[in-house]
């Protein structure tokens, strides 16, 4: 639901466009999930075959499986973008092409800001240096107990 609202706002979709766009996107996501599921299944078979002896794991086959899935996912992504071109205006379509990167960047910035906020909330904004003893070492508990 979050994705739908975010995309609707970001792309400034009209109700008519949204009615046509989101079924295309759901179909695309379903195909990608099916590809990922097939990938996991094939890798699982390779791992099972080499369960007792890691040296029997066929890394070349695993690489081929992984690359074929990535190619198939890229093909599906391209098909989705081309089909969306028929629904969206040119500026919306360009925004869609870069939507994932834009959202990823915003989420990264949000995580960074949250991390900075957490640092500010730390008492006295102080982290003990590595030379000071931790609480359990000061109280005489832990792996070094009785060695003082």
Q: What is the mean pLDDT of residues 94-113?
A: 84
pTM for this prediction:
0.65
Determine the Cα–Cα distance for residues 89 and 85; give it in Å rounded to an integer: 7
Is the sign of the CA dihedral 2, 100, 72, 67 positive or negative? negative
Domain limits of the chain?
Answer: 21-122
Nearby residues of 57 by Cβ (< 8 Å), 6 or more positions away: 46, 47, 49, 50
Long-range contacts from 52-55, C-beta under 8 angstroms, 24+ separation: none
How long is the chain? 148
> What is the C-alpha R_g of the chain?
25
Instruction: Give me the mean pLDDT over the 15-26 stretch.
Output: 94
146: left (phi over 0), alpha (psi -120 to 50) or beta: left
The pLDDT score that the predictor gives to residue 123 is 64
pLDDT one-digit tens code per residue, 34-89: 999 999 998 888 888 777 677 767 788 888 889 999 999 999 999 999 999 999 99
């Amino acid at each position: 639901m979050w994705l739908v609202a975010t995309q609707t706002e970001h792309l400034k979709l009209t109700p008519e466009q949204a009615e046509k766009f989101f079924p295309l996107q759901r179909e695309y996501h379903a195909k990608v999930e099916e590809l990922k599921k097939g990938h996991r299944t094939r890798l699982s078979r390779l791992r099972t075959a080499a369960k007792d002896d890691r040296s029997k794991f066929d890394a070349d086959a695993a690489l081929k499986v992984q690359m074929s899935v990535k190619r198939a996912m890229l093909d599906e992504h391209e098909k989705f973008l081309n089909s969306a071109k028929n629904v969206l205006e040119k500026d919306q379509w360009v925004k869609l092409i870069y939507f994932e990167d834009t959202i990823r960047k915003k989420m990264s910035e949000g995580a960074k800001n949250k991390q900075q906020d957490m640092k500010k909330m730390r008492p006295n904004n102080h982290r003990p240096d590595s030379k000071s003893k931790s609480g359990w070492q000061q109280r005489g508990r832990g792996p070094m107990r009785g060695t003082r």
